[in-house]
Structure 1
Amino acid sequence: MKKYLFVFSLILLNTSFTFAQSVTELEIKKLSMEKWKWMADKDVAKLERLFDDQAKFVHMSGSWKSDRELEIIETGSIWYKNAEVHDTAVEISGNTAVVWNRITLTAHVRGSDVENEFTVTEVYQKQGEDWKMLVFTFSSVRDTHEIEH
């Protein structure tokens, strides 16, 4: 009987741990999707709360920190009009979450709408009760690129 109780306890513990992980993964995925909407809406107030002060943003044309990214979004220098997300993978390690989104991005840049395929890597860190974005990197890819899960 003790053997069955022990096995049952292990299964229950494993199920609880798996469920907890998936809840965190869903929370991060939702946050990542909301971020795309906030960028399209140029909602710098919400983005400012999301971005860590020292976050690094890597784009096709350069890299910079949070203050510059917020300025770019607010002024419309780059207007992230729409990010069509094709695939997402999330991995959690302690208080760090990594998100990979394969997207088709429609953006308004230098007076023209452009469309590009990217895999975007986002790194988040749990700071107190909030998740903060530390890294946001665009990697240009073909539309046949797949994210390994």
Structure 2
Amino acid sequence: MKKHLFLLTFILLSASYSFSQTSTEQEIKKLSMDKWQWMADKDVSKLEELFDDKAKFVHMSGSWKTDRELEIIETGSIWYKNAEVHDTAVEISGNTAVVWNRITLTAHVRGSDVENEFTVTEVYQKQGEDWKMLVFTFSSVRDTHEIEH
């Protein structure tokens, strides 16, 4: 009987631990998806809250910090019209979350709509009650690329 009670307690504790991890992973995944919509909407005020002041952004055409990324979005020099997310993986370590999104991005750049396949890496850090984005990197990939879970 004690053996069964121990096993049941272990299972309940494991399930509770898994649920809390899953809940945080879901929160980060939702935040990442919301970010794509905010970028499409050019909602700089929400993005400004999300991006850490010292965040780094790496694109096909260069890398820059938060102020420049917000300016690019606000002016529409790159308009992230739609990110079709095909796959997402999230890993949490302490107060750091890493998100990998495999996407097809439709963007308006230099007067034309362009479509590219990317794996986007996002790094978030829990700062107080909020998650702040520290890193946002686009890696060009083939459409057959898969994210290892």
1:28-53 alpha-carbon deviations (Å, 9 max, x no partner): 11100000000000000000000000
Aligned to 1:4: 4
Establish whether residue 104 from structure 1 lines up as the match of residue 93 from structure 2. no
SS at match of 1:118: strand
Aligned to 1:47: 47
Counterpart-to-counterpart distance in 2, 1:26 and 1:53:
24
Deviations 1:82-138 (A, max 9, x none): 001111111111111110000000101111111100000000111111110010000
With normalisation by structure 1, the TM-score equals 0.97
1:90 paired residue number: 90
What residue in structure 2 maps to residue 73 of structure 1?
Answer: 73
> Who is 1:128 aligned against?
128
What value does the CA root-mean-square deviation take over the aligned residues?
0.8
- 1:25 paired to 2:47: no
Structure 2, unpaired ranges of 5+: none
Q: Which amino acid aligns with 1:129?
A: E
- Stretches of structure 1 lacking an aligned partner (at least 5 in a row): none
Counterpart code for 1:42: K
SS in 2 for 1:83: strand
Identity %: 87
Q: 2:8, 2:95 → 1: CA distance? A: 29
Amino acid at match of 1:22: T
Aligned length: 149
Matched, 1:14 2:14: yes
Counterpart-to-counterpart distance in 2, 1:45 and 1:9: 46
Match of 2:143 in 1: 143
Shift of residue 7, structure 1, vs aligned partner: 1.9
SS, match of residue 143 in structure 2: coil
| Runs of 4+ that moved beyond 4 A | none
Name the TM-score, length of structure 2 as normaliser: 0.97
